[in-house]
Structures are given as C-alpha cells and as structure tokens.
A and B are shown apart, each in its own frame.
Chain A
Amino acid sequence: MRLGKLGRLGLLLAVLAMVAAGCAGDEDGGGAGTDQAAGEPVRGGTLRVVNEEDVDYWDTGSAYTVTAWTFARLHVRTLYSWDSNRPPDQPGEPVPDIAAEPPTVSDDRLTYTFKLKPNVKYAPPVNRAVKAEDFIYAVERQFDKQFPSPNPYNTVIEGAEEFRDGKAESISGMKAVDDTTLEITLTQPASDFLSIMATNFMAPIPEEYASKYKPQTDYSKVYRGAGPYYLEKWTPNKSATFVRNPNWDAASDPLRKAYVDKVEVRIGVDQNAAQQQIESGDADLSVDNEPPAQDLQRVANDPTLSKQFIAPLDGCTRYLTLQTDSGPTSKLEVRQALNYAVDKEAVVRAVGGRMAADPSSTILTPALVGYQKYDLYPTPNSRGDPAKAKELLTQAGYPNGVTINMVSQTSGEGPRILTSLQESLGRAGIKLKNKGYNYPAIYTDSLQLTSKKTEHQIGQAAWCPDYPGNGARTFMGVLLDGRKITPQSNNNYGDYNSEKTNQLIDQALTAADQDAAAAAWAQADKQAMTDAAWVPLTYDKRGKFWSSRVKNYKYSLWVTNADFANLWLDPNTP
C-alpha cells in the first residue's frame, strides 16, 4: 500500500508517540526519582492512600515494614534523615534532621556528639521539645523481654549488649550531656553510622508518655513523633488517619514541606481494586500495591497515565542461594556451572518483564555504594550458556549431569521462576529435585535452618537493603558474613564462609569514609561472586502509580515509595 503525504505524517507521529510512551514507561531511576511537571505547590487536601497490608507497628522502636517507614516520613523525625531533592546519583546520603549540624566525631571515629535543634516538638498531648534523653530511652526500650524489637543495629552502640543481657542498668555508650547534646559511642567505627541514625528505629521517644503503654501494638495506637503530622486514629487492618501536628515548626524542618492537610489510609484494598480506584480518582496512591501485570503495558504506553507511573529499581534482588558445604553445590565448579546455565532473561520474563526487573550479575544492587557493573559469568544476552556449564560440570566430576535439591516458593512468581530455571538448567544437564514452600515458610522452615541444608542446596531467595547508599551492612553484611551463621534464623542460607570476604566486610564496615567503604564492599562483592556463593537473578523494580491530582511525586530509595511529606494535591479537594 502506498502512503500519501498525510499517511506518512501520521505514521511518523505514531512512531514518535510510541517512542515517547516507551521512554515515559521505562523509568529506571535509582535516586530521587522523577516527577511530572508539578507547577506551583498547592496546600491543603486529604491524601487518600489504599493499601493491601497494614503496618506491623507505628511504634518506631519495632516498626520494620516498607509501609511503616514510608508513613514515618509524615510523623517521625530522627537525628538524621534523607532528602528527596538530592541528585539521583546521591540518593543514599543521610542529612541532618533533628541534628542541628553534622556531629563532632572523635579521632578514633568511635564517639559522635550531636547538637539538637532546640525547637523540634512532639505532637499533642506530649507537646514538649525533643531532648537528648529521648534517644536513649528509645533504644533502651527496644530490649523489652516481652516485646523485643527486631532492630539489628542497636548493638553497634557500646554497652547495648550488656544492657540487653541485664549486666548494666543503662547503655554506657549513650549520654545526654544536656537536653540538646547527645553523645554516642560505638563498639567499633561504622562508616554507615549516620545512615543507621536515619532509620526510624533511632527516632526519639518521650519516656513520660510512652512508658504508660506497652511497646509495639499498644504504643502504636497513641504513637507521637515530632513530624509535621501525627497519627490521629488507627484501627488495625482497617484504617489510619494522620492530621497536622500543631507544634511542628516548618522553619526547623527544611526536609519536609507538608503541603497536604490530612492523610487517610484504607487497608485491605487489593491490587486490582487499588488500580481502579487510583485511575478513577477515588484514591491517590498505594504504598504496597503495584499496577497489576495486565495493566502495566497499558499504563506505561498511555500518553496520560504514563505521566503518573514509574518503574524504578527498588534496591532489592532475587537470587539463588547455593549451599557451599553440602551436596554437589559444595564444589566451586558446580556453582560456577549454575551461574552459566541460568537463563536470566527468562527469569526476568517470569517476574513480569523489564518493567518488573533487570537481569543481575552482582551481589550488591545499584542502590548501594560499592555496586559496580560487572559479570564474572557472562552469557550471550544473559540467556545462559549450557555448553560452558556442561564443561564445568565435567570438571567437577559430573560428565553426565547432576541432580540438585532445591526449595522454591509456591506463591507469587515462585512457580514461574521455578519453571524457567528447570528449563534452562535442564539444557545444561542439571536436574532439580524441588520442594515447594509457601511464604514465609520457605525461610522459617527451610532456608533459615542449617539443619535443612541438604534440602536447600539451591534456594529461591530475595532480599532488600534496609537503607540505600552505604547500606551494604544490611545486605552482604547479613547474607554472606560467615561469622553470622546460626543454626536458626540464619540468613546466610548457603553457609558461605570465606575468610577473605569476612575481612573485606569488616574493612567496609569500619572504613573511614563512604568512598573507602565502597571500595571494600566492591571487593567483597567480587570475592563472593568469584566463589560463586550465589546465582544473582534480578535487580527488582517497583511499579508506582498515582492519581492525576498528585503532584511532585518524588520517589526515594530510602522508602522505595514517594516522599509523602513533599507532594501536593491539585485540585486539593477532597
């Protein structure tokens, strides 16, 4: 068919539109995220959030979910926090929040002295200013025997373990020099200490108010922080409402502009319903719902909806953990063969395509300093190299292939990932003897138990760092430190223990600055991959969609969600 002038112009426009939609729907940001043309800020309105799951707690001493930490941006202030206006390549660097300025650090890098801003006030009925003592109480109460906090970082502080074990009356490494001066001494230097202080675990808690309640759920119902909002009402698993903190002083808080008047959260809304309600304008966004797989392409390619959608990396990874001390995977050549055999593009397709993940080849993800793009086991287009894998298996003493025990997840994308692995590994002569577990039993009943190592010679696993930037303590430091292997609750599922890697981890944790830490983490990453401790599968992405009236949506890796304290609504009714 011959196209006339009009036809050719139409075709050109269509191609341009497709390219523009493709670019809009292919956000790959890892830092401060992106926003549509925002216009002038508008104050007021009620942000309506629809979530599938509730938080575990609002009590910052124990809250440890993405949802709780996302909303914490509204009602919690910490000594240090994050700035969603940072450049995309510096998303992880924490900045002072309640701290008036960067701390004074002793020469041995063990003691940090913080000066607090004097006019940071809790919401009613507490009403008073935050004082140094509040940070000490916040950590001490985490060692409650009946309601213990899952905070894994409080023991970096000197004396915390002794206090936990009942050998001391207080934490020797925390001192309130006066109301506005806090001194913290560490057990050893920590290059990421300011990032730890930016986690919500370290938020101040007023003792005279909080001590009337039991930690966790009881205190969650009445939690009071010093943020621009406070939790007015919470009905577990149903709803939550945040309203303005009348004591919040905007001048003391350059990190938050707090444009909206109120935030209403409805819980129990599933993925499909959330998408419909946000598209219809009956809700504004969701913290834990992504656009359903069947809507992703449509949304990403729609000229209007694509402006309300991003799919950035979230810092998380999926991987196959390999048992280094049991079965065929105890041989390096077998682990290397697995790395060559897996078709990672097929795994990416299994989890939802390039809007859900990219194929990975490293331990650390792009959200973490120390990440470097390299691939020790490259295959054409990440499609696997069965011939190379077979060669390695032969060297390992398995010329006719090998059968390996595996555990996989029976829910979510688990079955599809398993199918793709069976196919690609099968081409290399590797048979999988699989046992399926639902979530979280795959961890609690198998991967975290060293007694079950025979059944999880390969394990389907996933992990996310607790904070980006200099956050590999929460990643490699947990997953591949051989000294952290325990019979239960073991997160080093493959029992990987390399003296070299352990030394590099120590080097990174105690490094003098972020650059030195990054260099050490990068080496640790390469060492673990040289040892083929894992088969990295994907760098995950998280689809985010918001309603047309939400403006200035800035994605932050710190919460893998928007910065709620800096978006606004236009129109601002309701």
Chain B
Amino acid sequence: MLRYVIRRLIWVVFLLFAVSVVTFVLFFLMPGDPAAASVPRQATPEVVEQVRERMGLNQPVWKQYRDFLHGPDRIGVGQPSGVLNWPPNLGYSFKNQEPVLDIIVDRLPVSMSLAIGSAVLWLVIGIPLGIQAALKPGSLRDRASTAFALFGASAPVFLVGVTLLYFFYFKFRIFPAPKYTPFTENPLLWAQGLFLAWLTVAVGLAALYTRLTRGSMLDVQGEDFVRTARAKGLVERRVVGRHILRPTLTPIVTILGLDLGALIGGAIVTEVLFGLPGIAQATVKALIDLDLPMIVGVVLTSAFFVIMFNLIVDILYAVLDPRVRYS
C-alpha cells in the first residue's frame, strides 16, 4: 500500500505539470490582449507596452512558461517568482500584482466551507432516501425518491439558488443575507450565511446520491452473503446495518471524493450567485480579466484537489472493501 501511495504521489506532480502546460497553451489560444485589457482604453500605447513588459507578455510563450517555473522578480518584491522555488511562488496577479498563492489560500476556506457543508447535506439527504427506496422497490417511497432524483438532476443550479434566495431570504426572511463569516469567528453566522448555498449545491447532488445509493444497495441485496445473513435469521436492521450498508457505500465514497474535489474551485454558479469570495469566484474574475497567473493558479488548485481526493478515496476504498488490495 505504501509503495502504491508513493507512486500515486509522483504521478500527482506529473499530472499537475501537464495541467499547467495545457492551461498555458489554452490561454494563448484565447482571444484578447491581457496587457491592453488591464488598462483603461484611454491609456496610451506606451503605457500598454510598459504594462506588457511588466507582465512578461513581450516574451515568447515558452519563456513565459519557463518564468512560471522559475523566473525573475518583475515587480520588485525582492525574490524570484516561479513554482519551483520554496515555498512555491505561483506568480503575481496581472490585475493587482498580489501573490497568486496568497489569494488562493485566502479564498480556500470559503470554497472548502461550501464543499464540506454541501457534502454533509447531500449525504444526509441522499443516502437515507436511497436506502429507503432500495428497501421497498416499487413502493410509493421509491417513486417519490425517483421523482426527487429527476427534479434534482434536471433543475439548473442557478434556478435552484435563485428560488431558494427568493423565498427563504427575500420573501420570508427565514435566513439572513448570504455572506461568508469565518467559522473561527462565529460558527453560527458561518452556517447561517452559507446554508442556502449549501442547499443549492446539495439538491442536485442529493438526487444523484439517492439514485446511486438505491442502485448500489439493490445490487448488494442480491449478493449471496446477504441471503445467507437473512437465512441465518438476523433481524433486518442488522442485515442492513452490518452487511449491506458497508459495501453499498463503497462506490458512494468513490464518487464523493471526485465530487468534493471538483467542488473546491468548481462551484462557479453558486459562489457567484451567493457572492461568496471563494476560488470559483476568483476563477471567473481571472478569466474575464485575462489574468494568466491567476488562471493557472486556480486551475492547478482545482486539479490538485481533484487528484488528491481521488487518491484519498482509492485508499479508503481499500479500507472499506477488504477484497481490494493495491500492490
């Protein structure tokens, strides 16, 4: 297992390297001049060129990538930039010359709060509903869960969010205005300010997890060891709790890891709709501003979390299912 983990960690580095190269290439294929876009239209051509030089955009693309790995101090901070330094320096935002890593670290708690809170909700909603549906297939409960799944899968995130905001905040004032308060500052305000955002993300994913749990549980229920457990006379609650649930959750854990990884930095609609200053909101801003260092930074961050969560769930998979062994 240890060798497996080390091999995977080495792959992480190569994958992130590949992601950074692809991001660079895609950026320069996009229309737009970042230097001209970062100054007002009234700026003279000379000012645009000075800004272009400061951004390093007057260099060939390969040299700009080299500087991304290890480059000069263009804005006079007294240390070289580049991701191969220690600590890694992801460069400086074209827009406001702030260190990209600092911006991402500052926004990470927001995105993580959104991801974790949503995950708790969708698991708490989706898994029990799925279990109930699987225990009585074809029943009213099962059909209700199917209807919920269809709704959750087809309702756009934006529509769900706007509807929740309208009724639960604006119309009936059940929740306060959405806002991010750090957990360490006030846990209650943290939860209150994020709840509607959590629910927005959770609705669609709870629907998916309902169906996943139902399907997985139906598969497991057909296994010989479940038949044996029932044949031995165990009460149904024990059969479900001790014999069915764990193998049912194995594929759920796999998907959960991928969803969590993707959500950190990927909840663009929700962060923008609720005005949450997370990584996804920064991504949108970076794309509009043609802010190359920020774009590379947020893409690498998102990729990192997807890859790492993937690794974590693979390890958990082995823990949950003793039939799985890595060599």
**Residues of chain A whose beta carbon lies under 8 Å from any beta carbon of chain B:** 50, 57, 64, 145-150, 152, 214, 216-218, 235-238, 266-270, 272-273, 276-277, 279-280, 282-283, 437-438, 440-441, 443-445, 448, 466, 474, 478, 486-489, 491
What residues of chain B have their CB less than 8 Å away from a CB belonging to chain A? Answer: 31-33, 36-37, 39-48, 50-51, 54, 75-76, 96-98, 103, 106, 162, 165-166, 169-170, 173, 176-179, 272-277, 281-282, 285
A571 to B39, CA, bound (A): 41
Kindly list chain A residues whose C-beta atoms are within 8 Å of the C-beta of B179: 266
Shortest CB-to-CB span from B178 to chain A, Å, is 7
The CA-CA distance from A64 to B272 in the complex, in Å, is 25
Contact between chains at B42 and A276 (CB < 8 Å) = no
Residues on the B chain within 8 Å of A277, using CB: 177
Known contacts A237-B282, A272-B162, A273-B274; decide if A148 and B98 are in contact (CB<8 Å).
no
**CB closest residue in chain B, given A269:** B275
Bound complex: CA of A566 vs CA of B207, how far in Å?
52
Q: Are A489 and B48 in contact (CB under 8 A)?
A: yes
Please measure, in the bound complex, the distance between the C-alpha atom of A216 and the C-alpha atom of B98, giving whole angstroms. 11
Q: Given that A268-B281, A445-B31 are contacting pairs, would A491 and B41 also be in contact in the complex, using a CB cutoff of 8 Å?
A: yes
User: Chain A's interface: helix, strand, loop or mixed, by majority?
Assistant: loop
- Tell whether, in the assembled complex, residue A152 and residue B44 are in contact, meaning their CB atoms are under 8 Å apart: yes
Smallest Cβ-Cβ distance to A65: which chain B residue: B40
Are A474 and B42 neighbours in the complex by a CB distance under 8 Å?
yes
Tell which of A150, A237, A266, A486 touches B40, judged by Cβ atoms closer than 8 Å. Answer: A150
Given A150-B40, A236-B98, 8 new contacts (CB under 8 A): A150-B47, A216-B97, A270-B272, A272-B162, A273-B273, A276-B170, A280-B173, A488-B45
Q: State the Cβ distance, B173 to closest chain A Cβ, in Å.
A: 7
Q: How far is the CB of A315 from chain B (nearest CB, A)?
A: 15
A236 to B107, CA, bound (A): 11
Chain B residue with minimal CB distance to A461? B41
Instruction: Give chain A nearest CB distance to B50 CB in angstroms.
Output: 5
C-alpha gap A269/B180 in the complex (Å)? 12
Is B165 within 8 A of A438, CB to CB?
no
Report how far A57 CA is from B40 CA in the complex, Å: 12
Judge whether A445 and B32 touch: CB under 8 Å.
Answer: yes
Q: How far is the CB of B239 from the nearest CB of chain A, in Å?
A: 48
Residue of A nearest to B177 (CB): A282
Contact between chains at B42 and A282 (CB < 8 Å): no
What are 28 A-B contacts with C-beta separation under 8 Å?
Answer: A64-B42, A146-B54, A146-B75, A148-B47, A150-B42, A152-B43, A217-B98, A235-B106, A236-B98, A237-B282, A237-B285, A266-B179, A268-B272, A268-B275, A270-B273, A270-B275, A272-B273, A273-B165, A273-B177, A273-B178, A276-B165, A280-B177, A443-B36, A444-B33, A444-B37, A445-B32, A488-B36, A489-B43
Which residues on the A side are within 8 Å of B178 (C-beta)? 273
Are A146 and B50 in contact, with the CB atoms below 8 A?
yes
Which residues of A lie under 8 Å from residue B42 when comparing CB positions? 64, 150, 152, 466, 474, 478, 491
Q: How far does the alpha carbon of A303 sit from the alpha carbon of B237 in the complex, in Å?
A: 61
**Which residue of chain B is the closest to A267 with respect to CB atoms?**
B277
Tell me the bound Cα distance from A437 to B36 in angstroms: 15
Which A residue sits closest to B35, measured CB to CB? A444
Closest to B43 in A: A150
B96 touches A236 (CB 8 A): yes
Q: Is the CB of A489 within 8 A of B44?
A: yes
Closest to B77 in A: A214
CA A269 to CA B271, docked complex, whole Å? 10
- Residue in contact with B275 in the complex, picked from A152, A218, A266, A445, CB distance below 8 Å: A266
Q: Report B-chain residues with C-beta under 8 Å of the C-beta of A445.
A: 31-33
CB distance from B267 to the nearest CB of A (A): 14
Which residue of B is nearest A283, CB measured? B177
- A214: chain B residues within 8 A (beta carbon): 75-76, 97
A445, chain B: closest CB distance, angstroms: 5
**Minimum C-beta distance from B46 to chain A (A):** 8
A268 contacts which chain B residues (CB < 8 A)? 272, 275-277, 281
- B36 lies within 8 A of A444 (CB): yes
CB distance from A256 to the nearest CB of B (A): 26
Q: Across the interface, which residues of A come within 8 angstroms of B97, CB to CB?
A: 214, 216-218
In the complex, which residues of chain B have a beta carbon less than 8 angstroms from the beta carbon of A150?
39-40, 42-43, 47
Task: Write out the residue numbers on chain A whose beta carbons fall within 8 Å of the beta carbon of B37.
Answer: 440-441, 444
Contact of A489 among B36, B103, B106, B169 (CB under 8 A): B36
- A376 CB to nearest chain B CB (Å): 27
Most-contacted residue by chain B among A237, A270, A466 (CB, 10 A): A237
A141 to chain B, nearest CB (A): 14
> Which of B31, B40, B45 is A438 in contact with, Cβ under 8 Å?
B31
Q: How far is the CA of A311 from the CA of B36 in the complex (A)?
A: 32
CA–CA, A283 and B282, complex, Å? 23
Give A147 to B38 CA distance when docked, in angstroms: 12
Contact A217 B96 (CB under 8 A): yes
- Interface contact B48-A488, CB-CB below 8 Å: yes
Instruction: Tell me which residues across on chain B come within 8 A of A276, comparing CB atoms.
Output: 165-166, 169-170, 177
Which B residue's beta carbon lies closest to that of A165?
B46
Closest to B38 in A: A56
Q: Are B275 and A443 in contact (CB under 8 A)?
A: no
A239 to chain B: closest residue by CB: B277
Query: In the complex, what distance in Å separates the CA atom of A268 from the CA atom of B103?
Result: 15
**A489 CA / B47 CA spacing, docked (Å):** 10
In the complex, chain B residues whose CB is within 8 Å of the CB of A148 = 46-47, 50-51
B272's nearest neighbour on chain A, judged by CB, is A270
Residue of B176, B177, B277 ringed by the most chain A CB atoms within 10 A: B177
Complex CA distance for A222 and B166, rounded to whole angstroms = 39
CA distance A279 to B177 in the complex (A): 11
When distances are taken between beta carbons in the complex, the residues of chain A under 8 Å from B44 are: 152, 489
Chain B hits for A441, CB < 8 A: 31-33, 37
Give Cα A236–Cα B103 distance, bound, in whole angstroms.
9
What's the nearest-Cβ distance from chain A to residue B300, in Å?
Answer: 19
**Assembly CA distance A266 to B276 (angstroms):** 10
- Identify the closest chain B residue to A164 (Cβ): B46
Minimum C-beta distance from B34 to chain A (A): 9
CB distance from A143 to the nearest CB of B (A): 10
Closest residue of chain B to A145 (Cβ to Cβ) is B50
B176 CB contacts on chain A under 8 angstroms:
282
Q: Which residues of A contact B32 (CB under 8 A)?
A: 438, 440-441, 444-445
3 cross-chain pairs, A with B, having the tightest CB-CB distances, nearest first: A444-B36, A150-B43, A269-B275
Distance in angstroms between the alpha carbons of A486 and B170 in the assembled complex:
51
Q: Give, as a whole number of angstroms, the nearest-CB distance from B242 to chain A.
A: 47
Give the chain A neighbours of B169 by CB distance below 8 A. Answer: 276, 280
Distance (whole angstroms) from the CB of B140 to the closest CB of chain A: 37
Known pairs A237-B285, A280-B173; A448 contacts B41 (CB<8 A): yes
Contact B98 A279 (CB under 8 A): no
Closest CB of chain A to B317's CB: distance in Å?
A: 38
Cβ of A512 to closest chain B Cβ, rounded Å = 26
* A443 to B33 CA separation, bound complex (whole angstroms): 9
State which of A57, A145, A437, A489 has its C-beta within 8 Å of the C-beta of B31.
A437
Contacts of A438 in B (CB 8 A): 31-32
Distance in Å: Cβ of B176 to nearest Cβ of chain A: 7
